[in-house]
């Protein structure tokens, strides 16, 4: 009887270990955005770092908060419900992301009147991207290829991401007006949020 209890306990422990490992690997995906075959943005599978061409971010997450370190500067991100705010080292709001069903809005400061919006289609395979009222591009997921392509409004391809679902983080490819550090910080926030 004692031997049977031990074998059942061993089986349960092994099953728990395998299930935990499978869940962790399903949740953790390294996100690589490529342009013309070169990686331009990368987010680590464990969520502790991100990088762009010449910059790197170290990320420390704690519940609904995260601290992002870039070039010796400390940026603080806080999540509240479906909103994410990133503050500069001086406490000013740099980026704000609001998530609603089928729509994501990105504000480049606290009072941005010309925000970016990503609106998903019904089957969640495409985002239409607008800056204010102007259409600037599309982010499209190809399930059969497990790939996301980002195209400007004129049809030119900006970048690609190998992934298993639509990724809003790829919008940084359309945001040429932002500095590299702003794009990297936004990419990091969107990845932390699972977008």
- The model's pTM is 0.82
For the stretch 143-168, pLDDT in tens is: 999 999 999 999 899 999 999 999 99
Structural fold of domain 30-192 = Porin (2.40.160)
Distance of alpha carbon 94 from alpha carbon 91, whole angstroms? 9
For residues 97 and 83, is the Cβ–Cβ distance under 8 A?
yes
Phi, psi (rounded to 5 degrees) for 114: -120, 55
Q: Within 10 Å of residue 35's Cβ, how many Cβ atoms?
A: 15
Domain range summary for the chain, segments of one domain joined by +: 30-192
pLDDT tens string 100-126: 999 999 999 888 889 999 999 999 999
Sign of the torsion angle spanned by Cα atoms 147, 132, 178, 153: positive
């Amino acid at each position: 009887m004692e031997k049977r209890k031990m074998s059942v306990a061993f089986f349960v422990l092994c099953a728990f270990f395998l299930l935990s490992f499978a869940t962790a690997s399903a949740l953790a995906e390294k996100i690589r955005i490529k342009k013309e075959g070169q990686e331009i943005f990368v987010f680590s599978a464990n969520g502790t770092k991100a990088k762009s061409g010449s910059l790197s971010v170290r990320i420390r997450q704690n519940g609904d908060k995260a601290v992002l370190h870039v070039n010796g500067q400390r940026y603080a991100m806080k999540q509240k419900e479906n909103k994410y705010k990133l503050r500069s080292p001086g406490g000013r709001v740099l980026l704000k992301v609001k998530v609603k069903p089928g729509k994501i809005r990105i504000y480049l400061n606290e009072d941005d009147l010309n925000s970016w919006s990503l609106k998903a289609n019904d089957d969640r395979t495409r985002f239409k991207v607008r800056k204010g009222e102007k259409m600037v591009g599309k982010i499209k997921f190809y399930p059969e290829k497990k790939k996301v392509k980002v195209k400007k409004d004129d049809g030119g391809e900006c970048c690609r991401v190998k992934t298993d679902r639509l990724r809003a983080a790829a919008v940084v490819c359309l945001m040429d007006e932002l500095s590299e550090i702003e794009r990297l910080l936004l990419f990091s926030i969107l990845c932390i949020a699972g977008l």
